[in-house]
Amino acid sequence: MEFELEPTVRRIVALADRLDRDDRDVPWPRRRADAAAQARRLRRVVMADGPAMASEVNHLVPVEGGRIYVREYRPRAGRLPVHVFLHGGGWCVGSLDERDPRCREIAAGADCVVFSVDYRMAPECSFPTAPEDCFGALAWIVDEADRLDVDASRLSVSGESAGANLAAVLCLMSRDRSGPPIAYQWLDVPATDLTMKQPSVASTPPGYLLDHRAMVDYRDAYLRTVEDRTDPYASPLHAPDLSGLPPAWILTCGADPLRDDGTAYASALRDAGVDVVERHLAGHVHPSFAFTRIASAAAYQRDAVDALRTALHT
């Protein structure tokens, strides 16, 4: 199956394919370092730095079994709404630094304080550590709202790919545990079914910046057992009840193996009575929606941030 990519996306994919190598035998710490170095190089080319913040602060937050960093992006003084952001990377790689520009754009554009969560990663910290860390960070933000000078009664979450998986799970956890009420969820290219049985997983060929082999590698490093694949806190599409969840904004991309994960979750949420806005970037690959030096990606981000601002301020 061939996909018609936007010209700039096609050039980026061609370059990445020339540089790609099989890293399955490389230890995970080295893979994280290599991924971070590649992300820094790519970020300079495909992303603007984002607007200056009034402050950026790293908080060391206690969670079950340890402590994690949560980075706060404040666009201006005042008691602003809260947005929790969860980076992607297959639950195994990724960092706060890689999405600094995006968090700044969200904070400034939606007029909110963004908290980016540095959850612990697999395989050293397998499921359910990452979602529990995210829930712990959410609870900490709400508990410390007065000290942080934020309005935790206006609360939203978002993430990308594995981070979107965690954002969707965070909404489930908060509902199930009578946790902080979340007003809005923004899910970009989410992984929602870790059985990997959605049709686009098999029908999307290699060479579009997310391959089946890599997906299996990350999934199997993250989960402890085969049974975990259908645990709702790993695969939110398998939750028996999706009612009572916050309104959702969901993005899918054309040449993305996870395309049908997002479409299926949007449909399941609607069937459960949840308001959903579904957007699709046909000429993009899995991560390129975030390449904001591309006009269509920049326009998408503006639309998504505007929708978040409306959700938080009306």
The Cα–Cα gap between 54 and 17 comes to: 39
| Alpha helices (H) in the chain, listed in sequence order | 7-19, 28-46, 100-110, 129-143, 145-148, 162-176, 199-203, 212-222, 259-271, 295-313
3-state SS string over 6-57?
CHHHHHHHHHHHHHCCCCCCCCHHHHHHHHHHHHHHHHHHHCCCCCCCCEEE
User: Does residue 157 sit in helix, strand or coil?
Assistant: strand
CB distance 83 to 112 below 8 Å: yes
User: Does residue 191 sit in helix, strand or coil?
Assistant: coil
Q: What is the DSSP string of 277-305?
A: EEEEEEEEETTGGG-TTSHHHHHHHHHHH
> Does residue 17 have an active-site annotation?
no
Catalytic residue among 256, 260, 288, 296: 256
**Region of residue 189 (phi > 0: left; psi between -120 and 50: alpha; otherwise: beta):** left
The Cα–Cα gap between 52 and 76 comes to: 10
The Cα–Cα gap between 105 and 97 comes to: 14
> Does residue 256 have an active-site annotation?
yes
Residue identified by tokens 């079950």 is: 64
Catalytic residue among 126, 158, 161, 288: 161
- Is residue 236 reached through a cis peptide bond, with omega within 30 degrees of 0 on the bond before it? no
Measured CA to CA in angstroms, residue 16 lies from 152, 156, 161, 285 at distances of 41, 33, 19, 12
Question: Dihedrals φ, ψ of 233, to 5°?
Answer: -85, 0
The Cα–Cα gap between 195 and 229 comes to: 5
Catalytic residue among 83, 87, 284, 286: 286
Tell me which residues are annotated as active site.
161, 256, 286
